[in-house]
Amino acid sequence: MNWLHAILLGIVEGITEFLPVSSTGHLNIVEKLLGYDIDSRGMTAFTAVIQIGAILAAVIFFRKDIVRIAVAWVRGLLGAEGRRDPDYSLGWGIILGSIPVAVVGLVFRDQIEGSLRSMWVIAIALLVWSAAMWAGDRMQAHQVVPKEMHHVSVLHALVIGLFQALSPLFPGVSRSGATMTAGMMLGFDRVTATRLSFFMGIPALVAAGGLEAVTSVDDISAAVGWGPTIIATVVSFLVAYASIAWLLRFVSKNSFTSFIIYRVILALVLMGLLAGGVVSA
């Protein structure tokens, strides 16, 4: 991979990782258009590893929240008084809610890295999950008193975690889109649903990227090269940090309608290109 392609893919990852539009879907589409074999072990590992840059941006952006939740969780383990802190339940929720996506990722790893990376799967998932996002957005809009972060229970986090587990199975669903949709369906306001999406995504993405980095060293070296991989990861970090700040401001004042429209248009365009033979599945 040349450095220009690495920079481009890092930008795509940084912009799309936390937007509800599917970063894996976008990376697969761009990689396909650039002529790469998206089914190869090297490209699969590259796609997972450069997510580490974006997730590091989220860790730094939310560092105060992460420290607060971690401290509350430890205090809750040490005494009954600490267990009255809402952040104690949130800490357990993040831990337990991360289990479903980890199980799915390990059990279905071969399918996720193979047949499920089809362009048709991405196009259909983009389209179908847009309907789910629309439903979640409308449900949230009709909440008279939306739930906020201190209302998050372990059960809420588990439900969001189950939704998150759909994302590795169907690239195009979008991990953030799945978790945000779940949060809105559970009655949380858009900003809280978005922040929960970040918190739930940090363990999952760190684990996925770390696993690929450790187990696919030779594959990345042979297919992509570690130089371009590191460049793409650094670029994804820089772009993702700006994307996070923009997204939180956007959802505080706007619905998810623009993201839904974009997903539908992208799905239809991709289907057209596939049907016309311009892009292979």
- Is 48 within the bounds of a domain? yes
Q: How many Å apart are CA 93 and CA 115, to the nearest integer? A: 32
- Is 218 within the bounds of a domain? yes
Q: How many Å apart are CA 132 and CA 138, to the nearest integer? A: 10
Q: How many domains does the chain have?
A: 1
Query: What pLDDT shows up at residue 20?
Result: 92
Query: What pLDDT shows up at residue 111?
Result: 67
- Counting every residue written for the chain, the total comes to 281
Structural domain that includes position 24: 3-275
Q: In sequence order, which residues have a C-beta less than 8 Å from that of residue 72 and are 6 or more positions away? A: 82, 85, 87, 88, 90, 91
Query: What pLDDT shows up at residue 248?
Result: 93
Query: What pLDDT shows up at residue 230?
Result: 93
Burial of 57 (0-12, 13-18, 19+ CB in 10 A): buried
55: closest CA among 98, 90, 18? 18
Burial of 123 (0-12, 13-18, 19+ CB in 10 A): buried
Write out the chain's pLDDT in tens, 281 residues.
899 999 999 999 999 999 999 888 899 889 988 988 887 888 888 888 898 999 999 999 999 999 999 999 999 999 888 888 989 999 998 998 888 888 887 777 766 666 667 888 889 999 999 999 999 988 887 876 778 888 888 899 899 989 988 887 888 888 899 999 999 999 899 999 999 999 988 888 787 777 777 777 777 888 888 899 999 999 999 999 999 999 999 999 998 999 999 999 999 999 998 988 887 76
- Is 23 within the bounds of a domain? yes
- Is 150 within the bounds of a domain? yes
Q: How many Å apart are CA 124 and CA 152, to the nearest integer? A: 32
Cβ neighbours, 10 Å, residue 131: 12
- Is 64 within the bounds of a domain? yes
- Is 281 within the bounds of a domain? no
Helix (H, G, I), strand (E, B) or coil at 161: helix
Query: What pLDDT shows up at residue 203?
Result: 86
- Is 280 within the bounds of a domain? no
